Amino acid sequence: MVFTIMPRVFNFTKSGFSAHIRSLRTIIPLLIAFSVIPVMPDAVQAKSTADATGTVTAKAIENTSEPAAGPVAETVAEMLTETPPAPPSLRLSPALPGPRHVSYSELNGGDSWNSGFMHTLATNPGYAFLASAVVPGLGQAANRQWWKTALFVAVEAAAIGVYIHRENRGRDGERYYERFGNKNWSVVAYAQYLVTNHGDEHGKSFQQLLTDDGKSQYVDGAGPFGGINPAFDIAIDWALIDITQLRIAERNSFYATGFAFSHDLPDYGSQQYYELMSKYFQFGPGWQEWFVNEPGRFNIDTGTMPEQFWYHAQIGFDFNDDLSVARNMLTLLVTNHFIAAFDAFFTQKLRAARMQPTASMEYGLRPTIGMQLRF
């Protein structure tokens, strides 16, 4: 029974098998034509449909020995005469046949922000690096990274503001620090102390510590130091004491503990000259407050120093702290420029390497957008 029905259903006769083959040869080209027609542009679609229809019809007539009849033939005829509508999203490509690559600005809607100078910064990593190295945040603005732009600009403005304020205050404090030392510390008073309290140790008289100008003003017998008293004026006192002889006396003077004085008096007017007068106790006797007060009130061995000593030391600490903060702001400024420059550079590099959007359209193919991933 099975073998009787199967030949009837599939008509496995020689003439029936030929008819089936001819039908398949007719339908397959139609399926191919219908799969291509919907993806063509409007202007090309009609011509492509007509060509396909004519070709398929001619082949169907050529390869079919019997005239088409029946409902299948009528359905095929209707399909050949009708043109399927194009998808609503399909539009005619303005380019010539072949792929069309769409630029970055076209994909962004033709925005004018990245044009001219800003476009150059947004597309050239080297220029973005230089721009942000000069003006931090400029390369980030070209990349539309607004929060980074605001961050680099804020750091730059804050660092400049703090630097100017602390640098000016530090320089003012330094000048006041020196003026206070010039008016309240005297090398003559310090030399007198060395002779009075450590003369037996270094073996020098006060007259031996004087310059030729000082010796000319020395009056023998007029008090313990002759006729010379400290003026607390650098224009006068610096010219009276021979600093070389004073240093010899210092190196041979000792604390009550038996330790020698740790430092020699630096050159007049040097940075260390002002620093040491309120840093080490051995220079305490040079302050005016020590000189005018009764003997024994202050002592270098116990560290009992006049108020002028401590006040001068505090001034030095304050202005040095201001200058240190100012130097840190300079370091921050340089760092901000470098970070902004490298950030703009690598942002451009990573953007170019991460995704490169392209759009292409070819006649006879669907429009496609490709994402190329590069490493």
In this predicted model, what pLDDT tens digit does every residue of 176-218 receive, in sequence order? 999 999 999 999 999 999 999 998 999 999 999 999 998 888 8
What per-residue confidence (pLDDT) applies to 347? 85
pTM, rounded to two decimals? 0.61
Domain containing residue 23: 2-81
137 with 340: CB under 8 angstroms? yes
Residue 278 lies in a domain: no
Q: Indicate whether 90 pLDDT > 50.
A: no
- Chain segment 321-347, per-residue pLDDT in tens: 999 999 999 999 999 999 999 998 888
**Alpha carbon distance 167, 161 (integer Å):** 10
What per-residue confidence (pLDDT) applies to 15? 55
Residue 323 lies in a domain: no
Residue 201 lies in a domain: no
What per-residue confidence (pLDDT) applies to 349? 83
- Chain segment 122-145, per-residue pLDDT in tens: 778 888 888 889 999 888 888 888
Residue 9: other Cβ atoms inside 10 A = 7
By the 10 Å C-beta count (0-12 exposed, 13-18 middle, 19+ buried), 348 is classed as: buried
Q: Give the list of residues 6+ apart from residue 101 with CB closer than 8 angstroms, or none.
A: 358, 359, 360
Residue 134: other Cβ atoms inside 10 A = 12
Quickly tell me which residue has 């994909």 as its tokens: 107
> Buried b vs exposed e over 165-192: b needs ≥16 C-beta within 10 Å?
ebbebbeebbeebbebbbebbbbbbbbb
Residue 288 lies in a domain: no
The number of folded domains in the chain is: 1
